[in-house]
Structures are given as structure tokens and as C-alpha cells.
Chains A and B, each alone.
Chain A
Amino acid sequence: MNRQEYNGWRSLEELADSPEFREQLHREFSVPPGDEGISGVSRRDFLRLLGGSFALAGLAGLGGCVRQPQQNIVPYIDQPERVIPGKALYYATILELAGFARGVVVETHEARPTKVEGNVLHPASLGATTVFEQAALLDLYNPVRSSAVLKEGEADTWPTFLGELQAALAKLPAGGAGLHILTGNVTSPTFGAQWQALLTRYPAAQWHQYEPLHHDAEFEGSNQAFGKFLQTQHQFDKARIIVSLGADFLFAMPGSVRYARDFISGRNIREGGKTMSRLYVLESAPTITGASADDRTPLRPSAILEHGVALAQQLGISVEGAHPGEAAQKWAATVAADLHSANGPTLIVAGCGLPPELHALAHAMNAALGNIGSSVTYSDPVEVAPVNQTQSLRDLATAIESGNVSVLLMLGGDWAHTAPADFEMDALIRRVPLSVHLGMYRNRTAYAARWHIPQAHPLEAWSDARAYDGTVSLAQPLIEPLFGGRTPHELIDCVAQFPGRHAHEILRAYWQQAGLDEEAWRRALHDGVIPNTAAAMQTPTLHPPPPVTLQPDAPESPELVFMHDYGIWDGRFSENSWLQELPRPINRLSWENALLVSPATAAKSKLATGDVVEIKTHDGRTLRGAVMIQPGMAEAVYAVTLGGGSRLEPGLWFKEITPAGAPIQRDQIAQNVGIDAYPVRTSAEPWFCKISLQRTGERHELAHTQQHHLVNSRDLVRIENFSDLSKLRVNEEVASHDLYNLTRTETDGIAWGMAIDLTRCIGCNACVLACQSENNIPPVGRSEVLKGREMHWIRIDSYYFGAPEKPLIAFQPMPCMHCETAPCEIVCPVAATLHDHEGLNVQVYNRCIGTRYCSNNCPYKVRRFNFFNYPKPEKKEPLLLAQNPNVTVRTRGVMEKCTYCVQRITATRIRAELDKRPIKDGEVVPACAQACPTEAIVFGNLKIKSRVAALKQTPLNYPLLEEANTHPRTTYLMRITNPKT
């Protein structure tokens, strides 16, 4: 069979095209008749058994005599190719975050996508994902998705829209002045070509781009350093010393999934690595990058610039007009000495929330340290049309104000809400004669615009996009648009030519022209990447750094810092209940954000967690929200993530009417979910601004899933210094004292176990959502989270060590420990939780009567209970399609918990048994381990020479709560930090 013949592939083995798989394929068709077939039963035996079972069936029929309900089984008239009920098919495609592609492989069951995994071949994924890719499924099946064309908030039709669009376009002056398009980041080559085609017809048309979390500072910094916009690419695996100046490179950069893997491979201690990189982080509010740091300093944004300048000066770069303070000098001297003594490349990276000057300095420092070409490389920007986005949006605002915009197409965002507050975009959009919004949700822009067109979900759409390194991938649809959505390609095509083509046609035509023949096209769809499309590296010439004016630090005047959100990014995922409910790393807030403030600042202002304050910016904009005390915050800084709060005025979403005239009442997911920070975010100060603060006297109860972050000297998270690593020994004493045979399953040589590496865990939450998606875990809502009833089978605990001003932040993922001597099992009165022969602690849902005794007796508290009928199938019609058919949907009143993805184990076992071979190491990968960008979770058979068995032999390994005599199968590898000694 030729693999190139089709686009999909059925399994990871097939993708990898291993010799075993080829052999299996071969054997499938080569078993001679009459010989022992797959099952090992001869034909004669088979017929004998068949006869016997018929006889038994007859007896049972006589005895039971139950009339079965009549149902029709309808066969396919045209059997779809390769669709076998019960067998999953996998397709490679991409999902974008702010325009940048991340390769995914989507599992489909009977043509419905049920699970998203990373694509091993894609450079931005390497098989891993973030929470956003995992949660894409929920957006696809979201019942509150926009499903109808709206004209001024009332249901209308696509042809009517096309008519109006054509009429408006016809009225445009020659050259098409007045035609404006607004998008977010665009990396799609096809879209770029479409725009060029449109320009030939309407040369005066204008394209504006704006992302709320834009990279203007990076581009402007590159402009200052090199005289042009360049994309910086970092090789974190090569750097011995990394200095992050406010950059959350483990999460918030286009290449973050890859960066996380690279960063950790520079710190690969567990598999015998002899070196470990060191990470210095300066940041205002704790990020997951800061939590992974070996040396983290919380600073106000202005002080980060000051420290950056000091470091540059220490590295011999002259910075005009800047005289950093003593603290900065001291820090810079230490770090500079460390950088100089590093035996290899180092790396300085600046965050998008800091001024362009700091980015220019970072380039200069990397050049001074000789990093360019090794740990730092440059290419042309990956975006089709890189611009300063704030300026781009300002141009649009000015154009609308001067009445020069007659047609405005807004593709895919919510600019009425997320644009800088001083632009007053909501009002401006309403002034455009023909404004069109294409979006998946009826957000504020949808109602501000004259027309709203439902957008196809990325999993329903043909498209293409480039990864952070420029590699192009094709996006192929997994399912027909559920709500009849359109893609940006199709909408833009309607402008260039009437009536517009299907996205597939547009894409195929572009790539035909770009030299992708049929075979290469199919190959590209199959692999999920188009080979050799990464952006070319270049060596730009460096200009001297710009002068920097340092503001004198004024610690008495508090600052507000805007951050990305670890669940809903910039608010674009605010209608996604998985992401809303996801406990955010470190503070574990769920369903809302808060004004984070350091303990000392809170004490000074007499604030407690839950106090509602009113913030006033210097230009008079106000914001109300609850305060949360967060150790590790910089002094006098209040941090808030973007995207919280309700997106619509109450009642607005009731206006949608069906074509038949009946009003549709739909819930909005994002209601009462924290603070909306956009109203105080201006174009002049998009990342931080000076504020004054007033207590309102009100209180607000914050929903979070962890109330205590101190270990209270309990031996939960073990932390060791890299320099002390050689002193660690395997604890032989404990091993020899044990009277039990630890691994008590002997039957078939399988004992499943897991090791979780706390050095590698960056707390990104990908495992939590992967587990939620794989195991049909229902979101429960804010009120239930407040009661402590979240359902996640794996949680990521966070702990603080050391002083609250400058704590070490440690993560600890906590799935079920699958204890050998499980305390839950002996207390269950009905034997609903018990051990299987491979050592899994399994839960039998239909035996469970819900005494909850098992949860009480679980020292790790990893069991989750269905206090209500959370899946509520009758209310969530399209959501049912997202469910994994191989995992039981639990009903009210039963206990549930991590199963080590028993359905995956079983599927692998069946495959291995068919092949008559033992299960190989690495063949079973639980959802959490598969999604993990840093391979922190390793799973396997402890009875063979497996990776996990080897890890458990290292001195890093330790069981949690050993003294409770639980003998957990899940163990931890110590967190190793590498601070300068």
C-alpha cells in the first residue's frame, strides 16, 4: 500500500512507518487459508466454538425470552473510504494562536473530531500542544457559537449580504478607496496572495492588523537595532545562561511549545546530563517562565528596563543618557560575570510588554556575547505584512473618523472590545456604512458591525499558516462547518471576485501556482508541513543602541501591568468553558482573573484577597475588581490578565432571531468572570500604566482551586541544587526495609507506572486539558469551583518556598498515584474501586454507589465526585460530539479519577495481542504525557527495561507520602535548580 495515496493516517505507528508496522501490514494479507490466523484459533476449533455458542444462545433465549426493542440498522449506501465504525482516523492540520501555526494531529471517530494531539513533524509542536490546541474541540462544538448571519443583530441570509456587499463595492470610487480590512496577525501565504489579487482590483484598499497582545515593541526594537522588522528566533537548548527580561518565553511566544522543549533539553538532568543551563528572570508578575527560573527577581516594568540597561553597560555597550541605580548595577555585575564565564552561547530575551529600547539592547547584548548565529538567529518576519499594529489600527480609527471608510471587513477578532480604549472602536465601527464582522462568536464587534457572518472553526476550514520559524502548513477540515461558517479566505474572495470560491479551491489554486503538485499537496496534507519552507536565516548589521531615558523609580505610585491569560489568552477563548475553568498556573484562579498584588504592597494598602478596589488611571479611566495577594509580585504593582469580564452587555445576546422568527435564547459562557481590563488599556500605554487606587469596601469571593500554597515543612516537593546533585543517592535503606514485594502483579509481566519530573514541569496546564478532552471530563462552572468541586483528574499544585517577596515557585502535577496498597480500595463497601492485574487502581462506575469514603481516605485527594449530573447531555447537544467514544461518560453520584488512560492501554494491548508480541516501551502514552511540551511525564511498564523504570532507579526519584504506606506507582523526580552559588 502506498502511504502517499491518502491524506490521513490511522495511527502514530503508521505515521512513523516502523518496520513492525510494515510487517503487520504485510501479514494482514498473507495468512494462508486454513492456517492459524490472527486469533490463533484454527478453522475447525472456530466452527466447534461457534456451534456451542449458538446452542447456548438458544438456551439463553428460551430462558430470558425478552423482547428486544426494534431498531433499524441502516447500512451505508456509499461506504466512505476508510471509515470503519469504532476505528479512529487521524488527520494532520494546524491550529493558530494569534496567526502562528502549531501543528496538530486530530483524532476523528466516524468523522467527528474527538481529540487534538501535537504533530511530531511540525517544528512548533514536536508532538506537544498547549492548552489552546487541546481546548479547540470545545470551541468547535460550542453550543453558544454563532450560527446565523446577522444584520444589525437580526437574522438574515448570506445572499442578502452578498448583494449588499456587491452594491457597496460598486459604489466605491475608482481604486477602491474606502475599502478597509481589519485582521489579527496573518501568516497565511494564500491570504497574502488573495490580498495582492484584491489590490489589483482595488489598489487603494487598505489592510489593518491588530492583535491585543501585539509585538510592536519587538518589531520597533528590531527596527532600532537593525533598521528593519526582523523575526528573532531563539535556540534555548544551545544557551548555557539565559536572561529573560520580562519574556514569558515558555508560554507566550509564537514558538513557545518548541521553546519549552528546547529549554528543557538544556536542563536534561534525569537522563544523565552533566550540564544544566541557568535561567535568570526579571518580571513584574509571576509567570510560568519565572517559576522555572533559577534566579528570579520581581521588578516594576520601569526597573526591568533599568536592569537591562545596567546589564548592557556591564557587557560593554554604551547606552546614552542612562544611569542605572545601585541595585540594578549590582544585579548586572553578577549576571554579567556569569554570562562571561559561561562555557558556550548564552541568550538574552526581552518580553513583548517592555519598551522597544530594551529589545534593541537585547539584540546588542546578544551580539556582544557572540550569540548571534548560535543561540539567536534572525529571519524576515513570518507575518505576511508585518506592521506596527497600534499604528495600523490608529490609521483605521483616523480614517473612520474622517469618514473615509465605506466598507470595513473585520475578520475574526473582537476589536470593538479589545482595541485600545482611547480609539473608542465600538463607536467608530458603528459609523462605517457597511461594516462586516466574521467571527465564531457574537461578541461586541458582531453587534457593533452592520453584518455578522459566522466563521468556520479552524477544524472546519481549509487554510494555511506559517509556524514561528516560517514553516508552512496546510489546514484541512475535519468536519463540515457545523453552523455553516465561512473562512476569511472565502469572505475576502467575495470582494475580489463575485460570487467567491470555496476555500479549498482558493487554497489549491494558490499552491498549484506555488509549485505544489498533486503528490506534494497530498504529502503536505498527510504530514502536516510543507518541507523546506522555514524562513531563511540572515545576519543583519547592528546599529548602535538608541539612547534610553530611565524614569526615576517612584515606588509610591502603583502601576498596573497587563498580562496574557493562561486560559483565555487575550479573551478570545472566553466562551470556552474548558479554558475558563482551567485553574491558571500559580494562583489557580478559575473562571476569573484578579488584580494580583504582592503581600507587602497589600499590607501597606491594607488590602486582603477578595477586597474590591477601584483603579483610576492618570487619564481618568476606571476599573473595578477584586484583589488577590500573590507572592512573588513586584512591589507597588497590580497585575491583571486581559480578556476577563463579560464581553457583552447583559441581554444583548437575546436579540438573535431564527429565520422563522423565533428568538433564540442562548447562554453566554463569559458572564461574571472577573475583570475586564481593556477599558483602561490605551494605545500609549498598552502594557503598564500608573494608577491610583481606592478601596470600595465591597468583597468578592474569588474562585480558585487551591487555597494553600505553603508546604508547611511537609516533604511534598523535593528541591535540590544542581551543584549538590552528586551527593544524592538512591535511598537503599528504605528499599531494603520494605517487607512487601512492591510490584505485586506477576501475572503477565506488566506493571504500569509513571514518573513525573518536577524539573521539567513548567506548569503550562497542557496535561490538564489533554486529560479533560481525552476522558470526557465535564466543566462544572464557577459556582461549583467555588464549592471545591472541580473535576480535573490531574491538577497542577503550586507551592511557594522562601520569602514571600521572592519565592521559589514549584509545580507539582498530581494525577492518581495508583498505589500498590491503595487506601481507597479497602474502604469501598461495594468493591467499586480495586486493582487490576497490571497494577492499575481502577474505578467501576456502575458498581459505585457514591459513599465518597474512597476520596476521604485518599491522602492525595485526587478523586473527583459527580455531585450533580454534570455532563447534562440534554442541554449540551453539540458538545456530545466531542466526547471520546472509548471513555464512559459518568453520571451523577459516582466517583471518578485518573485511570492512566486505561482505554489507551487496552487499545495498545489489543494491537499487541493481534501481533503476538509484548507491548513495547513507549507504546502506551497517556493523554497527559502526550501533550506535555517538556516530556515531564513518563509512563510505562516497570517490569521491563523501560524509560520509566530507569528513571525510578535514579536518585532523583521519590514517592510522595511514603510514610502513609501507599506505595504509589506514580513517583516524582526532584526539582533541580541551578542558582549561581
Chain B
Amino acid sequence: MEEPPLGYPTRLLEPGVTYAKATEDIASIPLRRIRSGWWWLAFATALFLLSFLMIAVSWLFIRGVGVWGINIPVAWGFAIVNFVWWIGIGHAGTLISAILLLLAQPWRNSINRLSEAMTIFAVLCAAMFPLLHLGRPWVFYFLLPYPDTMGLWPQFRSPLVWDAFAVGTYFTVSLLYWYIGLVPDFATLRDRETSPGMQRFYGIFALGWRGSAVHWERHQTAYRLLAGLATPLVLSVHSVVSLDFAVGLLPGWHSTIFPPYFVAGAIFSGFAMVLTLMLPLRSIFKLHDLITPHHLNNMACVMFVSGLMVGYGYFMETLMGLTSADPFEYANTIARLWGSWAPIFWAVILCNVLIPQVLWSRRVRTNEWMLFWVSIVINLGMWLERVMIVVCSLAKDFIPSSWGSYWPTAWDWATLIGSGGLFLTLFLLFIRLAPAIAISDVKELIAEKHHAP
């Protein structure tokens, strides 16, 4: 079979995409209010899953964190696993839209909006967990630096304080960046909207955008500035999250490789999640013209390369564990390789290292179904990796007498499933109310194509 042409820049848009068609294709999704039943079905499912979270969190607040399976020594369980997993997922968005923008990679233009939205919602899901996992969540504000009458401040040597700052900054910058990008598109929707209520709704968010050259000039300045701000955050957030572990003494945590290894893992899982969400949308909304095989290939490549880095991380960690002459580190490594944690470790290797090797083939990289399946496997593998890091290291540390085990309870699962529900709910609301692909950015591509020499 003939390989589909992937050459830049022609194949970023399928032939025949005009300004009007792009606007119509994209804007019609929110404007026609998605009359098809599938959205309502999906939304109902998402709400159902969200109800798990509501009930689980209510029960958690009533009874305490004891409803989860955590114990001493495994004092962190699903809550922290989910936190790290979601925050990892929240990395692709900024990477795609900010870094690729600065690197002048126009292929990002048709996928940035979706991935940015995913970032925002994933970070929201992630940020929820550190608060839920507190023993006394009602005093969460002790984590923030505020002028306390007793002169008390957070303890700035603690990685958890760094976390609060890193995640808070990342969320703020990502939200602003996403919104700045949305302003021209909200104006488009405002102009094309027929019902007065929704016109007002979009009008408020469009901030009086008229598309003048001054507007565009300022918009581009702000957009690029924010991209510049967001870029280092992509590296910093997951580095800081990794320090939660690397600063600790525990065998399996106390490792200098963690920051780069976590960043690579974040990009890996982030791209996997973008693919997991985008591939269904692409076929449902028939966006093949805008999201071309070229995009799939590029994303798969990024995912693949970051996956290789993650694999390198696993290799180095194991190698260091086996050769460090630290008996605790060694025992932890052995427990992963052949001991009680072997099933989790080898499942991680299978999902994150072995199965992604199929991405060597360009056919797989451009095949919707194969890519979708691989991305699901990677999402699962990355979640298991966090279980391995958080739970397995805690369960068996220095003194054998205090070794324990960990079994998640129904409330642990309900919270995890519920966080997925929250993510889906927000995501479905987003594609229902805002353009899932950046109209202005796509038009920019068309313009470039038209004016190409």
C-alpha cells in the first residue's frame, strides 16, 4: 500500500480547506449544540462517573482519610498516585501549544486548543488530590504563605510547598494562555451565534474583540509572552513533583534521575492522553481535514521518543539499584524485579517500554486504531508506574518489622473513577461550548498556504 504523503506544509491541511470551511467546520460544533445523541449519552456517563467522586469525597470529608486503604507505612496511596498521573497528563497541552509555538512548528495549530483544554482539566483533577489527601483538609491554607497572626509561614524546605507553588503557577499560566488563545474564537462564535443569550455569553468572554490590527498585535504579543512563561513551567512542574519523592530518604525515591525521568514520563503520558481524546473526536466530527496523518505521526513521534527516555529511566534506576552497594536500594530493586512487586514492575515495562516499540513503524504511527490502542496502554502503564513508585517503595523500606502492604478500598477506586468523570464532564462541556480547534490558528495556516511563495 502506498504510504500517505506526510510532507510539510501541504499535508497539515487537506486540500480544499478554505477560511470559510474551517470556520464552519469548527464553529458549527458548539453552535449547532451537537444535536446528536452521542454527546448526551457521553455527558450522562460522565456525570454518572462524576457522582462517584461526589459521593466518595463527601464520605471522605465525613469520616476521614481512613476510608482509603492507606496505613503506616504506606501513608500515601491512590490520592498521590492519581495526583502525579493527572499532573503528568497535564503536560502535553502546554508543551504542544507553547513550546511548539516558540519553535515555529505550525502543525501544532490544529491540535493546540484541545490539548490545552486537556491540560487545564487534568491539572484541575490533579490539584484536587493533594487537598483531598490531607488529614485535615479544612486547614489546607496552612500551605500558603499568608500573613498569619502567629507569624507562621509554610516550611519552605518541604517539596510539598514547592508543589503548591509549582502547580498553582502552572495552572494559572495555562489557564491564561488558553483563554488568551480563545478570545478571537469567542468573538467568532459571538458573531455567528443567533440566540441573544448565547451571544451575550460569548460576548462577555470575547472581551469586545473586533479583530482590528491593534487587537491582533496585542494578542500575539500576550500570547507569545505567555508561551515564553509557560515553557519553563513544562519542565519545572513535573521536576518539582518528582522532588516530592527524590527529596525523601526511601529506597526507590531517593534518586537524582527523578526530575528528567518524571518530565519525560509526563510528556509521554500527556501525548498519550491527547491521542486518546483526539482520535475519537477526529472521527466523530470528521476533522480529518484539520487533523491529518501528519499530526498523528508527529504526536506519535514525540510520544515515542519521550517513551524511550522513560525506558532509559527505568533501566538506569534498576542499574543503579543493583550496583549502588546500598542494601536498601538493592533490596527495593530486587523486590521490583522478582519480589512482591514484580507483577506491577513488569506490567509497567510491558505497557511503557515494550508495547510502544510498535511505534517504530510509520504505519502504526498514522493508523488511528493502532495509535488509540497504544495510547490507552500507555495511560494505564504510566498510572501503574506511579503506583510502583509511591506504594511499592513505601511498603518496604528500611526496617523489616514495619513493612506493610496496601490494598485500595472501594473509596479509592471511586475517587479515581470519579476524577475521570470530572475530567470527562469538563471536557464534554468544553467541546459543547467552545471551539475545540483554534479557528484563528487554523486560518493562519491557510493564510500561510495561500501566501506561500
Nearest Cβ on chain B to A67's Cβ, whole angstroms? 20
> A867 contacts which chain B residues (CB < 8 A)?
64-66, 70-71, 135
Residues of chain A within 8 A (CB-CB) of B249 are 823, 857, 859, 964
Question: Is A441 close to B, CB under 8 A?
Answer: no
Q: Shortest CB–CB separation between residue B107 and chain A, in angstroms?
A: 41
Whether A132 is near chain B, meaning CB under 8 Å from some CB there, is no
A856 at the interface (CB under 8 A from B): yes
Indicate whether A863 reaches chain B with its CB closer than 8 angstroms.
yes
Does B213 make an interface contact (CB < 8 A)? no
Query: Which residue from B136, B142, B394, B403 sits with its C-beta under 8 Å from A893?
Result: B136
User: Which residues on B sit within 8 Å (CB–CB) of A826?
Assistant: 155, 157-158, 247
- The residue in chain A whose Cβ has the minimal distance to the Cβ of B159 is A827
Asked if A893 and B65 make an inter-chain contact with CB atoms under 8 angstroms apart, the answer reads yes
Q: Which of A706, A716, A856 gathers most chain B CB within 10 Å?
A: A856
**Chain B interface residue number, banded:** 35 or more
Q: Does residue B397 face the partner (Cβ distance < 8 Å to A)?
A: yes
A852 in contact with B143 given A827-B159, A828-B155, A861-B73 (CB within 8 Å)? no
Contact assessment for A856 and B394 in the assembled complex, using a CB-CB cutoff below 8 Å: yes
Q: Which residues of B contact A31 (CB under 8 A)?
A: none
**Contact present for B154 and A829 (CB under 8 Å):** yes
B9 within 8 A of A: no
Instruction: Give bound CA distance, A863 to B72, whole Å.
Output: 8
In the complex, are the beta carbons of B64 and A892 less than 8 A apart? yes
| Interface assignment of A618: CB less than 8 Å from any CB of chain B | no
- Encoded as 1 (CB less than 8 Å from any B CB) or 0, chain A from 694 to 714 comes to 000000000000111111111
A847 within 8 A of B: yes
Is B64 a contact of A869 with CB atoms below 8 Å? yes
Q: Judging by beta carbons under 8 Å apart, are B142 and A850 in contact?
A: no
Q: Is B404's beta carbon under 8 Å from chain A?
A: yes
B313: Cβ under 8 A from any A Cβ: no
Q: How large, as a class, is the contact surface on chain A?
A: 35 or more
* Residues A789 and B66 in contact, CB atoms below 8 Å apart: yes
Whether A830 pairs with B154 at a CB distance below 8 angstroms is yes
**Cβ contacts under 8 Å, B160 to chain A:** 827, 829, 851, 853
**A895 part of interface (Cβ distance < 8 Å):** yes
Which of B65, B157, B404, B405 lies in contact with A850, CB distance below 8 A?
A: B65
Residues of B318-356 whose CB lies within 8 A of A: 327-328, 331
Q: How far is the CB of B335 from chain A (nearest CB, A)?
A: 11
User: In the complex, what distance in Å separates the CA atom of A866 from the CA atom of B70?
Assistant: 11
Q: Is B139 an interface residue (CB 8 A)?
A: yes
Can you list, as one digit per residue, whether each of B392-416 has a CB less than 8 Å from chain A (1) or not (0)? 0010011111111100000000000
Q: Chain B 125-152 against A: per-residue CB contact (8 Å), 1 yes, 0 no?
A: 0000010011111011011000000001
Which of B135, B137, B140 sits near A866, CB closer than 8 Å? B135
A861-B135 CB under 8 A given contacts A789-B72, A853-B160: no
**Identity of the chain B residue whose Cβ is nearest the Cβ of A960 in the assembled complex:** B399
B63 contacts chain A at the CB level, 8 A cutoff:
yes
Instruction: Decide: B398 and A789 in contact? CB cutoff 8 A.
Output: no
Residue in A714, A788, A893 whose CB lies within 8 Å of B404:
A788
Contact B399 A861 (CB under 8 A): yes
Residue in B76, B159, B399 whose beta carbon sits within 8 Å of that of A797 in the complex = B399
Closest-CB distance, B216 to chain A (whole angstroms): 44
Query: Which residues of A in the span 844-860 have a Cβ within 8 Å of any Cβ on B?
Result: 847-853, 855-857, 859-860
Q: How far is the CB of A961 from chain B (nearest CB, A)?
A: 6
Contact A711 B247, beta carbon cutoff 8 Å: no
Q: Hey, which chain B residues are within 8 Å of A860, CB to CB?
A: 398-399, 402
On whether the beta carbons of B133 and A714 are closer than 8 Å, the reply is: no
| Interface residue? B164 (CB, 8 A) | yes
Q: Which residues of A contact B401 (CB under 8 A)?
A: 706, 708-709, 795, 797-799, 812, 814
Q: A894 at the A/B interface (Cβ < 8 Å)?
A: yes
| Interchain nearest-CB distance for A64 vs B (Å) | 12
Q: Which of B155-193 contact A (CB under 8 A)?
A: 155, 157-161, 164
Contact of A894 among B136, B247, B331 (CB under 8 A): B136
Q: How close is B65's CB to chain A, nearest CB, in angstroms?
A: 6
Chain B residues 55-91 with CB under 8 Å of chain A are 63-66, 69-76
**Chain A residue with minimal CB distance to B161?**
A829
> Quick check: is A214 within 8 A (CB to CB) of the other chain?
no
| Contact of A865 with B154 in the complex, beta carbons under 8 Å | no
Cross-chain contact of A865 among B75, B140, B142, B143 (Cβ < 8 A)? B75
Kindly state whether residue A868 has any CB partner on chain B within 8 Å. yes
User: In the complex, which residues of chain A have a beta carbon less than 8 angstroms from the beta carbon of B29?
Assistant: none
Evaluate contact between B403 and A708: CB separation under 8 angstroms: yes
Q: Which residues of B contact A853 (CB under 8 A)?
A: 75-76, 158, 160, 244, 248
User: Per-position contact with B for A777-803: 1 when CB-CB < 8 Å, else 0?
Assistant: 000000010011100000101110000
Query: Are A855 and B75 in contact, with the CB atoms below 8 A?
Result: yes
Can you name the residue of chain A whose Cβ is closest to the Cβ of B74?
A: A788
Q: Is the CB of A851 within 8 A of B398?
A: no
Residue of B nearest to A823 (CB): B249
Residues A831 and B248 in contact, CB atoms below 8 Å apart: no
Q: Which residue of A lies closest to B139 (CB)?
A: A849
Chain A: minimal CB distance from B30 (Å): 41
Closest CB-CB distance, A715 to chain B, in whole Å? Answer: 9
Q: Which residue on chain A has the smallest CB distance to residue B162? A: A829
* Contact present for A849 and B247 (CB under 8 Å): no
Q: In the complex, what's the smallest C-beta–C-beta distance from A561 to chain B, in angstroms?
A: 26
Contacts A830-B142, A868-B64 given; indicate if A856 touches B135 (C-beta within 8 A).
no
Q: Which residues of A contact B69 (CB under 8 A)?
A: 787
Tell me if A864 counts as interface (CB < 8 A to partner B): yes
Please measure, in the bound complex, the distance between the C-alpha atom of A861 and the C-alpha atom of B399, giving whole angstroms.
8
Contact A789 B250 (CB under 8 A): no
Complex Cα distance, B249 from A961, in Å, reads: 12
Check if B76 sits within 8 Å of A852, measured CB to CB: yes
Shortest Cβ distance from B400 into chain A, in angstroms? Answer: 4
The reply to whether A827 and B134 contact each other, CB–CB distance below 8 Å, is no
Interface centre among A707, A789, A798, A830 (most CB of B within 10 A): A830
**Cβ distance B384 to chain A, nearest Cβ, rounded Å:** 20
Select one of A714, A847, A855, A863 contacting B400, CB under 8 A. A714
Q: Are A710 and B399 neighbours in the complex by a CB distance under 8 Å?
A: no
CB-based contact B399/A852 at 8 Å:
no
Chain B residues contacting A711 (CB-CB under 8 Å) are 400
Report whether B152 and A847 are in contact in the complex, using a CB–CB cutoff of 8 Å. yes
Q: Are B331 and A712 in contact (CB under 8 A)?
A: yes
CB–CB A849/B70 < 8 A = no
Q: Are B250 and A856 in contact (CB under 8 A)?
A: yes
1/0 contact string of A261-298 vs chain B (CB within 8 Å)? 00000000000000000000000000000000000000
Nearest-Cβ distance from residue A318 to partner chain B, whole angstroms? 49
Nearest residue in B to A856 (C-beta to C-beta)?
Answer: B75
Chain A residues with Cβ below 8 Å from B155 are 826, 828-831
Q: List the A side residues contacting B158 at CB < 8 Å.
A: 826-829, 853
Cross-chain contact B405 with A707 (CB below 8 angstroms): yes
Please give, as numbers and ranges, the residues of chain B lying within 8 Å of A893 by CB-CB distance: 64-65, 134-137
Q: Write out the residue numbers on chain A whose beta carbons fall within 8 Å of the beta carbon of B248.
A: 823, 827, 853, 856-857
CA distance A814 to B72 in the complex (A): 15
CB <8 Å contact, B398 and A964: yes
**Which A residues are in CB contact (< 8 Å) with B134?**
849-851, 893
Chain B neighbourhood of A714, CB < 8 A: 327-328, 398-400
Give 1 or 0 for each of A853-888: 1 = CB within 8 Å of chain B CB. Answer: 101110111011111110000000000000000000
Q: Which one, B64, B130, B154, contacts A831 given CB within 8 A?
A: B154
**Would B135 and A892 count as touching, CB distance under 8 A?**
yes
Chain A residues with CB under 8 A of B247: 826-827
Is A788 touching B154 in the complex (CB atoms < 8 A)?
A: no
Min distance, Cβ B128 to any Cβ of chain A, angstroms: 15
Which residues of chain A are within 8 angstroms of B402 by Cβ–Cβ distance? 706, 797, 860-861
CB 8 Å contact bits of A800-842 with B (1 = contact, 0 = none):
0000000000001010000000010011111100000000000
Can you sample 10 A-B contacts with CB below 8 Å? A706-B402, A784-B66, A789-B71, A829-B155, A847-B142, A849-B139, A859-B250, A859-B397, A865-B135, A893-B136
- Told that A851-B130, A868-B63 touch, could you supply 6 new A-B pairs with CB distance under 8 A? A714-B327, A789-B71, A829-B154, A850-B134, A853-B248, A867-B70
Which A-B residue pairs are the 3 nearest by beta carbons? A850-B135, A893-B135, A867-B66
